[in-house]
Amino acid sequence: MTHGPQTGDTEGGPQGRLSRERVLTAALDLVDREGLAALTMRRLGAELGVEAMSLYHYAPGKNALLDGVVEALYVELEDHLAAGRPPATSAPAWRAELHRIALATYQVCLDHPEGTLLIFSRMTRVPLARRPPPILRDHERVLALLRDAGYGPAHSARIWRAFTAWVFGYVSVELRATVDNPNEPDPAFRLGLYRIPFQELSTLRTTAPALAEPGGPDALATGLDALLDRFL
Cβ atoms within 10 Å, residue 3: 11
Are 9 and 50 in contact by the 8 Å Cβ rule? The answer is: no
- Nearest Cα residue to 39 out of 2, 69, 77: 69
Tell me which range, 14-18, 84-88, 127-131, is most confidently predicted by mean pLDDT. 127-131
Question: Packing angle between helix 62-83 and helix 93-111, nearest 10 degrees?
Answer: 130
The arithmetic mean of pLDDT across residues 180-197, rounded, is: 94
- Nearest Cα residue to 78 out of 130, 136, 151, 152: 136
Cβ atoms within 10 Å, residue 135: 22
Mean of the per-residue pLDDT values for the chain?
91
Domains of the chain as residue ranges with CATH: 67-231 (1.10.357.10)
Is residue 171's pLDDT more than 70? yes
pTM of structure: 0.87
